[in-house]
A and B are shown apart, each in its own frame.
Chain A
């Protein structure tokens, strides 16, 4: 089987993201042709359409793109770093812990004093989760130990999130539990983009910086060290990069699972055995995947405000089970 050349794969993915981005801003309660609103001299669209396009749909699509890229990229890095095919921010409890951080920031009143308290608190939650995971399963090469630690962490963070929301005096807080656990991009605004963007970009830069080390790591721990890779530095980059980018993403969208699991696995056969090549591809793939998921909830159930995490889990959970099965089979052979 011939593989696509890497630059062509990346351009193809970028084109896919662009197309999905345009569809995403065209779709909503009514179909708006973005071109005819953006181009001067076009008519047929009113002030309301322009406002909805600029202030509601574009920020939503931008967030889907950024958050999808973050999740795809961090999934690829975590899988390479932990040499664990099941690693992913959602499954490892990083997203859930970030949600907890965000909820604490909102309901303690911190966000009222300082707007950036939201992403910062969320990334603190994510950082604690990553550090805990490294501590719990750091030395163990066992794939399932890490995943089970992640499961426990997810439950714990979820329970604490519910606790915090139930204790709030706000009568609507309890209804938010669903949002923080399943995620949504409905009616987000530029305010959220502005809040998350600097953190997401910083985190992604740190994650991309692990590329060379990941290639070396794929040969094994000792081989990597003999190649002169600073494992400590790689670890720090990956931990901080994941915490910062996933934390900020979760702060504005809630916890969205499985993107970081599915996307790198789908793309791995296309890039071969070089983890570094998987990074850019997974970022683009994640963006495309989340844009597609966000489009599909608006097409399938436009009135119901279906949560994004529902769609990603419907696709992701069976995929995870299949993966688990095949990992176990490989281990037996």
Chain B
């Protein structure tokens, strides 16, 4: 049964333009909020779990229950887990499917052809994107008030987490499996900057996640090198680079920081935790120095 709801969205200012777009695609057009929502992407999973009212979200992707990727494993467990395959999703008889713009493309196109309503979310590259994705999720699910409360909380926490600029701002670079480092205009650079550091990828003017050869990393010589917990200690050729003797000689233990990647993957209000954890990790290194 679908519950009819009064006007879902306030017609105001800029949101009006956004609404027109939604009117074309989303359930909001009918004035009813969707009651069988399926999410197929780790990041939309977490946003939807935060925003949806109990029972509204019926299924999330398998990554949402993956301890190494998701912050909301507990919340995801009671829900139906999908692998992002069209057959599976159709059988759930959803009235709204939420997907990321870069993942499961073939499935999304197929679902659209079959007449399923699909809303797509851009990955968040900045805190502004986090806000607009929260807003969009609120509008889609008919939970505007709730999502704007989340946004306000997020903004407040961001402000509290922000560190006053120090005289010398250390440069911090990330280095992950297969020699990848985060580029500028990314969520990573936004988090690193908010935590009070200069972001290496931004300084090197890298675009997006980029391969940085070990030689280049040593020449770039960031003050601190950050790697991802949970993924770095796994077996495999991809992460061998993180134990390269040259890397270990150049960046001693005092310059190596390990952070919990789950908080960095998706643009959700949890990114505040990423900032706090990074600051704490650096502070503990500084304390060791004294």
Does A109 sit within 8 A of B, measured CB to CB?
Answer: yes
Closest to B236 in A: A170
B245 nearest CB across to chain A (Å):
5
B47 nearest CB across to chain A (Å):
21
| B235 close to A171 (CB less than 8 A) | no
CB-defined interface of A169-191 with B at 8 Å, one 1/0 digit per residue? 01111011001100000110111
Closest to A186 in B: B213
Size of interface on B: residues with Cβ below 8 Å to A: 26
| B235 close to A109 (CB less than 8 A) | yes
| A176 close to B235 (CB less than 8 A) | no
B interface, by DSSP: helix, strand, loop or mixed? helix
Does B164 sit within 8 A of A, measured CB to CB?
Answer: no
B271 nearest CB across to chain A (Å):
20
* Chain B 195-232 residues near chain A, CB threshold 8 A: 211, 213-216, 218-219, 221, 231
CA distance A180 to B177 in the complex (A): 16
Q: A29-B219, A48-B219, A175-B178 are in contact. Are A55 and B238 (CB under 8 A)?
A: no
Closest to A30 in B: B219
| A187 close to B241 (CB less than 8 A) | yes
Does B244 sit within 8 A of A, measured CB to CB?
Answer: yes
Does A107 sit within 8 A of B, measured CB to CB?
Answer: yes
CA distance A29 to B204 in the complex (A): 14
Instruction: List, in ascending order, chain B residues with CB within 8 A of A173's CB.
Output: 236, 238
| B234 close to A52 (CB less than 8 A) | no
CB-defined interface of A189-223 with B at 8 Å, one 1/0 digit per residue? 11100000000000000000000000000000000
CA distance A303 to B215 in the complex (A): 11
Size of interface on A: residues with Cβ below 8 Å to B: 30
Does B259 sit within 8 A of A, measured CB to CB?
Answer: no
| B246 close to A168 (CB less than 8 A) | no
| B250 close to A106 (CB less than 8 A) | no
Does B239 sit within 8 A of A, measured CB to CB?
Answer: yes
Q: A28-B215, A29-B219, A187-B241 are in contact. Are A106 and B246 (CB under 8 A)?
A: no
| A187 close to B214 (CB less than 8 A) | yes
CA distance A170 to B234 in the complex (A): 7
The one of A48, A112, A189, A191 that contacts B218, using a Cβ cutoff of 8 Å: A48
| A170 close to B244 (CB less than 8 A) | no
Q: A52-B215, A172-B178, A175-B178 are in contact. Are A189 and B235 (CB under 8 A)?
A: no
B234 nearest CB across to chain A (Å):
5
CB-defined interface of A277-288 with B at 8 Å, one 1/0 digit per residue? 000000000000
The one of B178, B215, B235, B245 that contacts A190, using a Cβ cutoff of 8 Å: B245
B65 nearest CB across to chain A (Å):
13
CA distance A320 to B272 in the complex (A): 58
| B246 close to A172 (CB less than 8 A) | no
Q: A51-B249, A112-B235, A172-B231 are in contact. Are A305 and B211 (CB under 8 A)?
A: yes
Does A111 sit within 8 A of B, measured CB to CB?
Answer: yes
Instruction: List, in ascending order, chain A residues with CB within 8 A of B214's CB.
Output: 52, 56, 187
Does B237 sit within 8 A of A, measured CB to CB?
Answer: yes
| A107 close to B246 (CB less than 8 A) | no
Closest to B237 in A: A176
Closest to B239 in A: A172
A112 nearest CB across to chain B (Å):
6
CA distance A316 to B107 in the complex (A): 39
Does B126 sit within 8 A of A, measured CB to CB?
Answer: no
B207 nearest CB across to chain A (Å):
12
| A168 close to B236 (CB less than 8 A) | yes
CA distance A111 to B179 in the complex (A): 21
CA distance A30 to B216 in the complex (A): 9
CB-defined interface of A45-73 with B at 8 Å, one 1/0 digit per residue? 00010011001110000000000000000
Q: A29-B213, A48-B221, A187-B179 are in contact. Are A55 and B237 (CB under 8 A)?
A: no
Q: CB within 8 Å of B: which residues of A?
A: 28-30, 48, 51-52, 55-57, 106-107, 109, 111-112, 168, 170-173, 175-176, 179-180, 186-187, 189-191, 303, 305
Having A175-B178, A186-B213, A303-B211, one finds 10 other A-B pairs with CB under 8 Å, namely: A48-B250, A52-B214, A55-B246, A56-B244, A106-B236, A107-B235, A111-B235, A171-B68, A191-B245, A305-B213
Closest 4 CB pairs of A and B: A55-B246, A172-B238, A29-B215, A172-B177
